Amino acid sequence: MTQTQLNVEQSNATSFDAVTENHLAKHAIQVHKFGGSSLASSQCINRVLEIIKSHCQINDIIVVSANGDTTDHLFSLYQLAQEQLQASLEEQDPRPLEAAVAALSKQQQALITELLNANNAKQLIHSLAADIEQLKAWLTGDLSAHHNNILAFGELWSARLLSALLNEKLCPSNSIDARDFLVIDNEVDCLVDTATSAAQLRQHRQFGKLAVITGYISKDERGHTCTLGRNGSDYSATIVASLVDARNVTLWTDVDGIYSADPRIVPSARKLHRLPNGVAKELGRLGNPVLHAKTLLPLINPLTEHHTHLHVASSFDAQVAGTEIGKFGQIAKQELSVTYLNDLLLAHSESFIGEAANKVRAEFAPICVDDKQGFVVITQAQQKALSQWLASHDTEVKFNPVSIIATVGHKVAERGDIKARFKRSLRSVKPLHLVNSDNSHSVIAILSEPCTPEILNNVHHDMTKDARHIGLVVAGLGNIGQRFLELLPSQLAKVEALENTHLVGLLSSKKALINNDGIDVNQALSLFEQDSQGYDNQQLLSWLSHHPYDELIVVDITPSEDFSLLYEQFFQQGIHVIGANKWAASSSTAHYNNLIQQAERHHSIWLGNTTVGAGLPINFAIDDLRHSGDEINQIAGIFSGTLSWLFETYDGSTSFSSLMLDALQQGITEPDPREDLSGRDVQRKLLILARKAGFELSLDDIDCQNLVPEHLQALDTQAFLARADELDEFFADQLARANADNACIRYVARLQATPQDDSANGLKLTAKVSLEVLAKTDAFANLTPCDNIFQISSRWYQDNPLIIRGPGAGRDVTAGGLHSDLVNICQQLASKQNQVKIKGIN
């Protein structure tokens, strides 16, 4: 959904017929339908105004339902009036009906006066009063002839009010009664006379005015009012979209998408971010109220199928990405949902066996048909017609009350594993039959009892418990990033926790490849070469805010401080981060604390085990001790693979500088070895571990000995390398002194927390990274060159410290460490359940 500002300047009102092709081509039309729940109160309607302001252009189309539960009110007025008509003279009491009409009128008046200025409100109240008189006349007159005219008032009032409000506050608009253009064959089939309807709609739209059209209602060829059935405004919206060849339809409702089950009954229902057309259609057919059964029909029209996408979004949370319905690839096709319908009838008859069943299919479109055993499931409303139809064929029929529960997903009926799971989930319910839908997008269980919330919850749990889809974005395609990607296919194939993890984004500093349908992990790098495009941070954040996954993980394998500055926004969007990048974890105290807070607030997980010690589980161990109740008071060790190599190897037989240049050649140092010799990297690592251990300190609190003398610090790299021998005297001197004491030199990081004498709970922190003279027997003195060593003293590890030692740098161990973090996050996310937020009238 693109956000564009409403162009309110086009105010010339002419017929749309007069508009040139050229002008129309400027902006592909979007249809926005606001449901009753989104228009239930003046507060809701003001929210709708904001959405129109930010999401619509003047030639878009708005379709509205009746405000709140106005249609229910109108139905109950009709019911009351009917009871009156049927009551005997002495039983008749007009007061309940009068009171109900007055209440409805009052509700409408309240909306009008709360929203419009006095002048405009007066006009609308005047029109309302006339309608109420008409309503009363119909309710007490020729009632049944006006059933649909009575129901039509809801949408009529709603469109009129919204249009008046737009005129007053936002832009020119006109309200259009759909009965002035929309012609259908009859209320049962609701087939649209497209040519006539499109032509008449063109006449009623006015250039420079935003059209607000009544949903739900239409007329037949004789001009009689028809409705499109309960929740029919959704269908109105897609009909209108097909009439004007709109690009997008958005159904704005009170829930931010279509869920894997009715979220009012199943709190653990998951949002379905993308639904393939056929599956959505099946969901509508099997009772999902967000998708009226016919809503998808106009979009699946072969002429428009490729153009019109349907979105479901929440008018209460317009920024949240909702559900998109259209043509999607493999990942969307794996989504499953569970839906149910009560109060149905199972009908057995010989006329439903074999070829003959096709007739009942064509005539009644039953919920399901089994032409081998000869039964169909229909609604109660269809019973009479089916009985008559069968009587005319001279066959007997037997009806039994039933309910259905169905699992719905792309071609589920062809998937043995899913069917077996569905069957198992129904063990205790003992369904009468299990039937595949004709289109294979659902497997329907027929139950002799009503489907209860308990059944729905249990079945939903069993069908979807391990189906949380996780999107993975890898940033940084250097040495380690490439190795991470090389390992990814086999990891995805063998690690159970990664079952629903999909690579969806690859980023270098300049280019991005993003594919919501998943990037083939076996060709990730070549696909990136071929298809990646330039991007900026704004584009990246905007894509990330609309990603279609249950969870998104960004793996930051960049060395970039700039990229680390995006973490805050990642966390604000609930995105999880695995970072090998040290910048964020060693940033200023205020920045770091804010990141931790943001991550907590938005339930984002941030793991960075590889920031220190590559794959060694040092961050993990410290985190674990701390969260298990231990108190760490000392962290020490050799944290730099480069410095480890240099000092383990340096024995004076060759000069320090030639050893350093040798290490540079082997890729053991950074391209400029001063980055290693400066101690800054070790200082950052000590800061990261200290923070993990629960201490609050900043980089400046850690003394850092720079091994590069001042006069060499400002040179460019080449000049420094040319004068590297100027380092030699210092190191030769240090080594000679150590040797004299039978000791050695090592670059060591140390943090010590000692209780303060003068305060009960205060701790004195000393932290430094420096060259130390160590006994040759010291644990830090005997490493395999390049290895890291970490030593932790704590309450539990007091006399004999905990030591972790091993390779602290390298392609394989770092990429492996990142994979370990990935599995860890995916395991945590698998058990995470989001509670669905439903706002509004429900």
Among residues 326, 291, 302, the alpha carbon closest in space to that of 242 is found at: 302
CB of 257 to ligand ADP, least distance (A): 7
The SS3 of residue 290 is: coil
Is 339 or 788 the residue whose CB approaches ligand ADP more closely?
339
Q: If contact means CB under 5 to 8 A according to the sort of partner, which of Mg ion, ligand ASP, ligand ADP, none does residue 66 touch?
A: ligand ASP
Is residue 293 a contact residue for ligand ADP (CB under 6 A)? no
Q: If contact means CB under 5 to 8 A according to the sort of partner, which of ligand ADP, ligand ASP, Mg ion, none does residue 216 touch?
A: ligand ASP
CB of 288 to ligand ADP, least distance (A): 5
Is residue 276 a contact residue for ligand ASP (CB under 6 A)? no
List 106, 122, 230, 372, residue binding ligand ASP (CB under 6 A): 230
CB of 230 to Mg ion, least distance (A): 8
The SS3 of residue 402 is: strand
List 36, 257, 326, 840, residue binding ligand ASP (CB under 6 A): 36
Distance CA 214, CA 398 (A): 42
Is residue 215 a contact residue for ligand ASP (CB under 6 A)? yes
HSE-CB of 823 using CA atoms within 13 angstroms:
16
Is 35 or 608 the residue whose CB approaches Mg ion more closely?
35
What string of H, E and C letters represents the secondary structure of 106-153?
A: HHHHHHHHHHCCHHHHHHHHHHHHHHHHHHHHHHHCCCHHHHHHHHHH
Distance CA 149, CA 320 (A): 37
Distance CA 412, CA 80 (A): 45
The SS3 of residue 789 is: strand
In the numeric block, the tokens 């009468």 are attached to 432
CB of 330 to ligand ADP, least distance (A): 22
CB of 841 to ligand ADP, least distance (A): 7
Is residue 642 a contact residue for ligand ASP (CB under 6 A)? no
Is residue 287 a contact residue for ligand ASP (CB under 6 A)? no
Is residue 842 a contact residue for ligand ADP (CB under 6 A)? yes
Is 441 or 674 the residue whose CB approaches ligand ADP more closely?
441
Side-by-side strand order, sheet with 309-314? 173-176, 210-214, 61-64, 30-34, 248-253, 309-314, 323-326, 274-276
CB of 148 to ligand ADP, least distance (A): 19
Among residues 776, 797, 801, 780, the alpha carbon closest in space to that of 789 is found at: 780
Is 36 or 208 the residue whose CB approaches ligand ADP more closely?
36
Is residue 288 a contact residue for ligand ASP (CB under 6 A)? no
Is residue 288 a contact residue for ligand ADP (CB under 6 A)? yes
Residue 85: its H or E element:
helix 70-86
CB of 107 to ligand ASP, least distance (A): 14
Is residue 67 a contact residue for ligand ADP (CB under 6 A)? no
Is 837 among the residues known to form the active site?
Answer: no
Q: Which residues inside 210-249 make contact with ligand ADP, applying CB under 6 A? A: 231
List the structure tokens of 423.
Answer: 């069957």
Distance CA 787, CA 648 (A): 10
Contacts of 622 (CB under 8 A, 6+ apart): 632, 635, 689, 692, 693, 792
Q: Which residues inside 153-182 make contact with ligand ASP, applying CB under 6 A? A: 154
Residue 293 backbone phi and psi in degrees, to 5: -50, -35
Distance CA 502, CA 520 (A): 9
Q: If contact means CB under 5 to 8 A according to the sort of partner, which of Mg ion, ligand ADP, ligand ASP, none does residue 232 touch?
A: ligand ASP
| Residue 49 to residues 69, 159, 212, 247, 841, Cα–Cα distance (Å) | 20, 13, 12, 21, 18
CB of 31 to ligand ASP, least distance (A): 14
Q: Determine the interface stretch with ligand ASP among 64-72, 203-211, 716-724, 742-750 (rule: CB under 6 A).
A: 64-72
Is 288 or 587 the residue whose CB approaches Mg ion more closely?
288
CB contact at 8 A, 635 and 689 = yes
Contacts with ligand ASP, 234-263, as mask; x by CB under 6 A = x-----------------------------
CB of 288 to ligand ASP, least distance (A): 14
Is residue 817 a contact residue for ligand ASP (CB under 6 A)? no
Q: If contact means CB under 5 to 8 A according to the sort of partner, which of Mg ion, ligand ASP, ligand ADP, none does residue 154 touch?
A: ligand ASP
Q: Which residue is catalytic, options 685, 768, 837, 839? A: 685
List 59, 233, 337, 642, residue binding ligand ASP (CB under 6 A): 233
Is 66 or 347 the residue whose CB approaches ligand ADP more closely?
66
Distance CA 288, CA 312 (A): 13
Residue 639 backbone phi and psi in degrees, to 5: -105, -5
CB contact at 8 A, 304 and 293 = no
Is residue 262 a contact residue for ligand ADP (CB under 6 A)? yes
List 128, 622, 818, 838, residue binding ligand ADP (CB under 6 A): 838
Distance CA 701, CA 91 (A): 89
Binding site for ligand ASP (CB under 6 A): 35-36, 65-66, 71, 154, 215-216, 230-234
Active site residues: 685
Which positions touch ligand ADP (CB under 6 A)?
35-38, 65, 231, 253-255, 258-259, 261-264, 288-290, 838, 842
